[in-house]
């Protein structure tokens, strides 16, 4: 049985990054309910549990909204509490937790008082990433302090004899410089997990599993052109051939030439493809809607309805989805606050009675990219920039009309043409244009104008969870700006978004 580390999900925004980092060490990791009992951990069947990480979360230990089984702390396993988890262990063992006079958000310097155990090999001072309001102020006698910061006297601690540790900061976030070193110490040394989890056999195993599960029934998948649904489709098509029908819904909200490119690409890959033109349906139902969450809901619902009709028509029995591991967490677990409702997770009415097949449900994005390469998918797919399910609709702030979508589509094309041309040494995660619900005065050809504003958003990120605005050279920004105002008559002003995530998100809605 594979060794694994389980992560108790108390709803922290970075919870799945923890599992991701552990998998980078070739140790399998799963995210589980925070209310899991010590007994259930002892009986765990998916893998052999070697250690437990208690995640961060939005609540305070005093709310006790989520029931934590304290017996977990008596299991003879490595245990690590991060942020809220750090406070929870202290609180559950009789320590003190108080609302900090000064909150700490962002990069902080930690002073490592004892570079031992989980902090082995770290420097006297370390750049770490924090995001908390409550602070541990007291620990029981059988615990000792390992590190502090200016505002957190007990930023890291350990039990003197058991393998229990707590860290107020987030080693899973890339801004913590030696985060991976901390995980290596915990996972490989303290928990003694064997790093033998590999993805080499994924394609072979999953093709035969899909073949066995689907048999000679018909399956259907909605293609978005993104890497996840593409990989899920190709894997399934390898297993069941033409019995998989791939449906592409043209919502009218895609980028320039995207529907045509997607159609061409999948026909070349010999997929059994159906393209549905649903443009007028989407625009009709979005008419007058300005609220971002309403837009997302309407798009999601319409998409499901169109797809439902197609599935009925095909008489499909199995629904294949490109859901990946973070999708299951990002849409808000019971415990996390919903930041945005991602529209691509499940949701077809039960009455269709489709069996759901999610071949990528255990994988992270970069793992899917590895599979995509193994499957021989073209670079257009494997290296495609992330693009949100609700597409350009969430990049037109305010009301959506075909005209306004067209403005942002043209601006987006300019941004990406110029970025592609200059890309050589830039490490860009996403680049796009946003149409603001704002007109301003300009002067073009000696005449006063009163026209739209485009915001340019270009970010660097490793995983989309945190991001920095990219320091794009001015001459590239100038070219983008000049081209947009010259080529799109409805725009007379271009601004550049200078905000990191957090506090902003990558998309504007
Ligand atoms: P935010 O805006 O939350 O975005 O910082 C993080 C990443 O997720 C993408 N995104 C989505 N992807 N469906 C998706 O498949 C969605 O509804 C959705 N909303 C945002 C966003 O483009 C960025 O890469």
Across residues 173-194, what is the average pLDDT?
96
Task: Spot the catalytic one: 30, 172, 330, 418.
Answer: 172
Q: Whose CA is nearest to atom 9 of ligand 1?
A: 388
Query: Could you count the other beta carbons within 10 Å of the beta carbon of residue 272?
Result: 18
Per-residue DSSP letter, 113: S
Determine if ligand 1 sits within 6 Å of the CB of residue 386: yes
Q: Is residue 3's pLDDT more than 90?
A: yes
Across residues 236-244, what is the average pLDDT?
96
Is the separation of the CB atoms in 292 and 394 below 8 Å? yes
Inter-axis angle of helices 202-214 and 365-374, nearest 10: 90
Q: Whose CA is nearest to atom 19 of ligand 1?
A: 388
Determine if ligand 1 sits within 6 Å of the CB of residue 507: yes
pLDDT of 26-56, one tens digit each? 998 988 889 999 999 999 987 899 999 999 9
- φ, ψ (nearest 5 deg) of residue 453: -115, 135
Q: State yes or no: is 132 an active-site residue.
A: no
Determine if ligand 1 sits within 6 Å of the CB of residue 430: yes
Per-residue DSSP letter, 54: E
pLDDT number for residue 45: 83
Binned at pLDDT 50, 70 and 90, residue 332 comes out as very low
Task: Spot the catalytic one: 132, 159, 163, 170.
Answer: 170
Q: State yes or no: is 170 an active-site residue.
A: yes
Q: State yes or no: is 39 an active-site residue.
A: no
Report the C-alpha gap between 474 and 453 in whole angstroms.
19
Helix (H, G, I), strand (E, B) or coil at 239: helix
Determine if ligand 1 sits within 6 Å of the CB of residue 434: no
Is the separation of the CB atoms in 381 and 372 below 8 Å? yes
pLDDT number for residue 30: 86
pLDDT number for residue 146: 98
Q: Is residue 328's pLDDT more than 90?
A: no
Binned at pLDDT 50, 70 and 90, residue 481 comes out as very high
Helix (H, G, I), strand (E, B) or coil at 46: coil
Gap from CA of 229 to ligand 1 centroid (Å): 15
pLDDT of 114-171, one tens digit each? 999 999 999 999 999 998 889 999 999 999 999 999 989 999 999 999 999 999 999 9
Q: Whose CA is nearest to atom 11 of ligand 1?
A: 388
Determine if ligand 1 sits within 6 Å of the CB of residue 506: yes
Q: Which atom of ligand 1 is nearest to the CA of 343?
A: 17
Report the C-alpha gap between 457 and 3 in whole angstroms.
42
Substitution site in 507, 508, 509 for ligand 1 pocket (most atoms within 8 Å of beta carbon): 507
Gap from CA of 321 to ligand 1 centroid (Å): 17
pLDDT number for residue 334: 46
Gap from CA of 227 to ligand 1 centroid (Å): 14
* Cα dihedral 111/113/117/120 (nearest 10): 60
Determine if ligand 1 sits within 6 Å of the CB of residue 464: yes
Q: Whose CA is nearest to atom 4 of ligand 1?
A: 506
pLDDT number for residue 37: 95
């Amino acid at each position: 049985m594979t060794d694994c580390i389980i992560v108790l999900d108390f709803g922290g925004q970075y919870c799945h990054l923890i599992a991701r980092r552990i998998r980078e060490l070739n140790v399998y990791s799963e995210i589980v309910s925070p209310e899991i009992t010590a007994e259930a951990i002892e009986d765990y069947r998916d893998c052999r549990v070697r250690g437990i990480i208690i995640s961060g979360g939005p609540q305070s230990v005093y709310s006790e909204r989520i029931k934590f089984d304290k017996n977990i702390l008596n299991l003879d396993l490595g245990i690590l509490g991060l942020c809220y988890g750090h406070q929870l262990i202290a609180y559950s063992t009789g320590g003190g937790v108080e609302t900090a006079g000064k909150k700490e958000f962002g990069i902080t310097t930690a002073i490592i008082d004892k570079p031992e155990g989980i902090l082995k090999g770290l420097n006297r001072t370390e750049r770490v990433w924090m995001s908390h309001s409550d602070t541990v102020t007291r620990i029981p006698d059988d615990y000792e302090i390992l590190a502090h910061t200016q505002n957190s006297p007990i930023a890291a601690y350990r039990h003197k004899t058991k393998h229990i540790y707590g860290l107020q900061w987030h080693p899973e976030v890339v801004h913590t410089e030696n985060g991976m070193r901390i995980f290596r110490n915990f996972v490989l040394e303290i928990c003694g997990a064997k790093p033998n989890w590999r993805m080499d056999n994924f394609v072979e195993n999953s093709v035969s599993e899909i073949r066995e599960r689907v048999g000679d029934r018909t399956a259907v998948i909605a293609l978005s052109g993104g890497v996840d649904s593409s990989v899920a489709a190709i894997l399934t098509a390898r297993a069941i051939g033409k019995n998989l029908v791939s449906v592409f819904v043209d919502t009218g909200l895609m980028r320039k030439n995207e529907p045509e490119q997607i159609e061409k690409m999948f026909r070349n890959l010999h997929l059994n493809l159906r393209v549905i033109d649903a443009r007028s349906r989407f625009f009709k139902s979005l008419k007058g809607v300005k609220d971002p969450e309403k837009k997302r809901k309407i798009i999601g619902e319409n998409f499901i309805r169109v797809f439902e009709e197609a599935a009925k028509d095909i008489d499909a029995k199995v629904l294949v989805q490109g859901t990946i591991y973070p999708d299951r967490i990002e849409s808000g677990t019971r415990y996390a606050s919903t930041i945005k409702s991602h529209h691509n997770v499940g949701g077809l009415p039960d009455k269709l009675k489709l069996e759901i097949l999610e071949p990528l449900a255990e994988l992270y994005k970069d793992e899917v990219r590895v599979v995509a390469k193994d499957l021989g998918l073209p670079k257009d797919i494997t290296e495609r920039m992330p693009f949100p399910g609700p597409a350009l609709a969430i990049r037109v702030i305010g009301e959506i009309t075909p005209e306004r979508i067209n403005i942002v589509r043209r601006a987006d094309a300019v941004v990406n043409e110029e970025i592609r041309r200059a890309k050589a040494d830039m490490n860009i995660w996403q680049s796009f244009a946003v149409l603001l619900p704002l007109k301003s005065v300009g002067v073009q050809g000696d005449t006063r104008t009163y026209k739209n504003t485009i915001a340019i958003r270009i970010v660097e990120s490793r995983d989309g969870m945190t991001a920095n605005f990219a320091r794009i050279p001015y001459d590239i920004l100038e070219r983008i700006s000049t081209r947009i105002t010259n080529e799109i008559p409805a725009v007379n002003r271009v601004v550049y978004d200078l905000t990191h995530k957090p506090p902003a998100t990558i998309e504007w809605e």
